[in-house]
């Protein structure tokens, strides 16, 4: 099981989103901490260690390093890759 850490951007997004969405996102993050490469996980091009997973119309961008799952960014698809 991986330790989960959040960037400031991801943490602020979770603080501002509604509780139902927050619960869905936390459930997916908990699943990622156990299995970091589930079906549907995609490695992003141009980044050595950055992956994404879909949660409805939202995307979670994350990386793995030394037993740490770093949640890099969470946002809607249209804003995630900027």
**Domains along the chain with CATH numbers:** 3-80 (3.30.2310.20)
Q: Strand pairing of 68-76 and 3-6?
A: parallel
pLDDT, average across residues 47-75: 92
d(Cα 22, Cα 9) in Å, to the nearest integer?
14
What pTM value is reported for the model? 0.88
What six digits make up the tokens of 82? 């900027």
Q: Tell me how far CA of residue 7 lies from CA of 23, 39, 66, in angstroms.
A: 18, 24, 16
Is the pLDDT assigned to residue 81 strictly greater than 90? no
List, for residues 3-51, the tens digit of each pLDDT value.
Answer: 999 999 999 999 999 999 999 999 999 999 999 999 989 999 887 789 9
Confidence of residue 82 (pLDDT cuts 50, 70, 90): low
d(Cα 57, Cα 59) in Å, to the nearest integer?
7
* Contact (Cβ atoms closer than 8 angstroms) between residue 4 and residue 29: yes
Task: Identify the pLDDT of residue 30.
Answer: 95
Task: Identify the pLDDT of residue 79.
Answer: 74
């Amino acid at each position: 099981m991986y330790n989960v850490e959040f960037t400031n951007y991801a943490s602020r997004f979770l603080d501002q989103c509604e509780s139902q969405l927050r619960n869905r996102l936390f459930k997916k993050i908990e699943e990622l901490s156990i299995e970091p490469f589930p079906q549907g996980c995609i490695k992003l091009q141009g980044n050595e260690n950055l992956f994404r997973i879909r949660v409805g119309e939202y995307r979670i961008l994350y990386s793995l390093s030394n037993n740490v799952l770093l949640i890099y960014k969470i946002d809607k698809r249209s804003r995630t890759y900027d």
